[in-house]
Amino acid sequence: MADHAILAGKRVLLVIAGGIAAYKCLELIRRLRERGASVRAVMTAAAARFVTPLSVQALTEDTVYQDMWSLTDESEMGHIRLSREADLLVVAPATADLLARMAAGMADDLPATVLLATDKPVLVAPAMNVRMWQHAATQANLALLESRGVWRVGPNEGAMACNEYGPGRMAEPMEIVDAIARILAGDLRKPLAGRRAVVTSGPTHEPIDPVRYIANRSSGRQGHAIAAALAQLGAEVTLVSGPTRLPDPPGCTVRHIETAREMLAACEAALPADIAVCAAAVADWHVAGPSDRKLKKDGGGPPALELAENPDILATLSAPGGRRPALVIGFAAETGDVLAYATAKRARKGCDWIVANDVSPGTGTFGGSDNTVHLIRADAVESWPTMTKEAVAARLAEAAAAYFERI
């Protein structure tokens, strides 16, 4: 539980948005003040429909700020000062609407303006209907905010006011207090701190001659996003990337390679690791004897290319032994019978999880911004809604963090 000494004398700016979970903010204020923190509140217009500003003012013993156009408030406490005089900003409940406006950088009311103007840490406690939480837009907005350094607590799973069940309930007040204390103590949420990860991304290029090669269509966007998401959660990440047009993700050590054999060597050099994610689209074959000169048309028809099988990177990293990562995650890009082929691949390769996706023409997965995946474990299959590749990466990184918390 939160240490009273950490919160004593700290200043929390609480942004209350309009959702049924707003009633929990009264308990949150009380718990923070019990621990010596001062709380100042900013409310959206919708929030005032769920909890009265008078109740919030009585518990904070401070002015409740609502209107960006109040001449009195602006003369006494401008929105810039309001956003920067706190040690931490907490958005609870963080509705889908406010998260979207934060992600877009909007400043159309006082809460959004305060959040845009701050240079202090921000913690969000999402609360919304399960379908809204699972929607690709919400997941993309959250992934974008987290990539900018916004911290999150919850949501929890349970029954909701709309009579549905699932993730979307706001974290309980003491969970939020504990998260606030960890951030203020410098223990930012880095559940993979101390863990090492190796991630493969992009295609491989297998030379035919100095100007031609065999390759896959991968852009590398999904693998790069996974590397960035693991680094965001504190992992020490080595990204082994085939040729892409993407910038190196921040916080990662990047090894640029071209061929599958080079990729395997770079992966093995990055061991030992706790996590291996094989997201690259590795060419299955290479030309056994590539020409050192450009092959020419000579009227005798196309040259005969003798192909040799490339090393199986996923199977190699999954093989039992002292250097096997504790969690090995493969990818299965399929064009039909996705779940069946991917399930068989997980068993055949010996990896722990497989992320399966449909890359049929028309899906736009290869080279596109979105992905629709299924996470296949030995005992369960999770089908995720279509979302951006960055959101898929954030969710997969969270799943990996949860895996290590359980073992």
Catalytic annotation, residues: 162
Phi and psi of 327, rounded to 5°?
A: -130, 115
* Whole-angstrom distance, CA of residue 317 vs CA of residue 274: 11
Eight-class DSSP state of 63: P
Q: If DSSP codes are grouped into helix, strand and coil, which group holds residue 257?
A: coil
- Mention every residue, 6+ apart, whose C-beta is less than 8 A from residue 77: 63, 65
What is the Cα 46 distance to its own chain's centre? 29
Q: Any known ligand binding at 294?
A: yes
Q: How many CB atoms are closer than 10 A to CB 232?
A: 22
* Whole-angstrom distance, CA of residue 285 vs CA of residue 307: 6
Residues forming a β-bridge with 214? 206
Query: What is the secondary structure of 178-229 as a DSSP string?
Result: HHHHHHHTT--S-TTTT-EEEEEESB--EESSSS-EE-----SHHHHHHHHH
Q: Any known ligand binding at 345?
A: yes
- Mention every residue, 6+ apart, whose C-beta is less than 8 A from residue 54: none
Check the CA dihedral 6-7-11-14 and report its sign. Answer: positive
Q: Any known ligand binding at 88?
A: no
Is there a cis peptide before residue 93, judged by omega within 30 degrees of 0?
A: yes
Q: Any known ligand binding at 302?
A: no
Q: Any known ligand binding at 376?
A: no
* Whole-angstrom distance, CA of residue 258 vs CA of residue 241: 8
Check the CA dihedral 144-204-375-236 and report its sign. Answer: negative
How far is the CA of 192 from the CAs of 182, 297, 403, in angstroms? 15, 54, 10
* Whole-angstrom distance, CA of residue 121 vs CA of residue 124: 10
Q: Any known ligand binding at 311?
A: yes
- Mention every residue, 6+ apart, whose C-beta is less than 8 A from residue 126: 93, 94, 95, 96, 99, 133, 142, 152, 154, 155, 168, 170
Q: Any known ligand binding at 239?
A: no
Q: How far apart are the first and last CA of the chain?
A: 22
Q: Any known ligand binding at 314?
A: yes
Binding residues for CTP: 284, 294, 311-314, 331, 345, 349
